[in-house]
Amino acid sequence: MNSPPLSLGAGQQVMTPSKGVGERKIRRLEMLESVLALGGLVLLRDSVEWEGRSLLKALIKKSALRGEQVHVLGCEVSEEEFREGFDSSINSQLVYHDLFRDPLNWSKTGEALPGGPLGVLRAMCSRTGPGPVTIALDSLSWLLLHLPCTTVCQTLHALSHQDSRPGDSSPVEHVHVLGLLHGELHGPGPMGTLSALARTEVTLSGTRSQASAHILYRRPQQRPTHETHWFSILSDFGVDLQGVSPLKSQPHPDPLTPPVDPTTHLTFNLHLSKKEKEAKDSLTLPFQFSSEKQQALLCRGLGQATSHIFYEPDAYDDLDQEDPDDDLDI
């Protein structure tokens, strides 16, 4: 149950799958950190084959170990079952809101939470302490089935943007809302709208033996990036990483077809050798005057207001100054 004593600093090297078993444990928690890095709403989309509650509990454990306040809204499993597997220090840190035992307040003993699920969520919107908060919703699917989708979206948005202090540039990073969403229960409408609201979206899938998490990061105003992690969850809700395949969002050029260079196989010469350049520079062009004459022509153009016409009459011109039309009778 005890995690091996390792120092997990920020400057870990990128692990390749070919390295030994001992070094594999260095990046144990790095995937969880990257999921929690952006803040805001984190969607965990699981399915029947690949369940997500263990990853949710791993994230809760990670947040609790970091010292954040953790609130859990339990709707699908009982409180005992949810707390199973956590050690006592983490269990004492969890604030559990139980909606499983008596969601509609039929027992009327006063133990049920006032206002139902919506009241609980709205109460969580007003923050109690200044530190970072993690709110785990187990599960978001249950909420979507019991409340209208627009109300859930508006409440989630209010939850993740809680900080109303003016001048706080990134209120979202203090709050993590982890929502577990079962993929088969909802149509494309609610899934699409929740994806658009979420900052980080983790989709669980995998091959026969290995689970994988495809993580999509939607930073605001930036291109989304994604990664795929292969992992397995240990009994103490630590995460054992088996590999990462980050898919870059930049397109790769196709390596098979090299770009065709249009300047090859030409019948004329595109480049000049040095001698040819010198010969070209020393060539006198027909209207290239010396610089003095250029200046003279240019300056004369500036100084004169009118232009002069220099005309030399040839033999056939009539230079009679009299009106040539005088002999016409009009």
Partner 1 sequence: MAAVGSCASGSGTTGSVGAAAASKNVTSFQRKGPRASGTDSGGSRLVSIAGTRPSVRNGQLLVSTGLPALDQLLGGGLAVGTVLLIEEDKYNVYSPLLFKYFLAEGIINGHTLLVASAKENPADILQELPAPLLDDNCKKEFDEDAGDHKAPDSNIKMKIAWRYQLLPKMEAGPVSSSRFGHYYDASKKIPPELLKASKWHGFFLPEKVPSTVNIEPCSLTHGYIELLRFIQKVIYEEGFDGSNPQKKQKNILRIGIQSLGSPLWGDDVCCTQHCASSHSLTKFLYVLRGLLRTSLSACIITMPTHLIQNKAIIARITNLSDTVVHLESFIGSDRETNPLYKDYHGLIHIRQIPRLNNLICDVSEVKDLAFKLKRKSFTIERLHLPPDLSDTVSRSSKQDLAEPAKLPGPGCGMTAGGKKHLDF
What does the binding site for partner 1 look like in residue numbers (CB under 8 A)?
A: 148-150, 153-154, 157-158, 187-190, 192-193, 196-197, 218, 221-224, 249, 251-254, 257, 260, 262, 285, 287-288, 294, 297-298, 301-302
Q: Which residues of 107-142 are buried (b: 16+ CB within 10 A; e: fewer)?
A: eeeeebbeeebeebbeebeebeeeebbbbbbbbbbb
Nearer to partner 1 among residue 121 and residue 197 (C-beta) = 197
How far does the chain reach from its first CA to its final CA, in angstroms? 126
Sign of CA dihedral 243, 233, 202, 93: negative
Least distance (Å) from partner 1 to the CB of residue 196?
6
Least distance (Å) from partner 1 to the CB of residue 294?
5
Spatial distance between the Cα atoms of 219 and 176, rounded to a whole number of angstroms: 15
* The two three-digit tokens of residue 113, written as one number: 């939470």
Nearer to partner 1 among residue 130 and residue 167 (C-beta) = 167
Least distance (Å) from partner 1 to the CB of residue 261?
9
Least distance (Å) from partner 1 to the CB of residue 186?
10
Spatial distance between the Cα atoms of 39 and 198, rounded to a whole number of angstroms: 10
**E strand or H helix that includes residue 260:** none
Nearer to partner 1 among residue 29 and residue 124 (C-beta) = 124
From residue 22, give the alpha-carbon distance in Å to each of 4, 13, 19, 27, 156: 11, 14, 8, 11, 41
Least distance (Å) from partner 1 to the CB of residue 40?
12
CB contact at 8 A, 99 and 75: yes
Residue type, 200: T
Least distance (Å) from partner 1 to the CB of residue 230?
22
- 3-state class (DSSP) for residue 262: coil
Spatial distance between the Cα atoms of 110 and 113, rounded to a whole number of angstroms: 8
Least distance (Å) from partner 1 to the CB of residue 154?
6
Spatial distance between the Cα atoms of 176 and 96, rounded to a whole number of angstroms: 16
Least distance (Å) from partner 1 to the CB of residue 114?
19
Least distance (Å) from partner 1 to the CB of residue 108?
27
Query: Alpha helix (H) ranges present in 84-201?
Result: 88-93, 116-125, 140-146, 149-160, 188-197
SS3 content of the chain, % helix, strand, coil (to 5): 30, 20, 50
Task: Tell me the DSSP string of 47-95.
Answer: -SSS--HHHHHHHHHHHHHTT-EEEEEE-SS-HHHHHTTS-HHHHHHEE
Nearer to partner 1 among residue 235 and residue 257 (C-beta) = 257
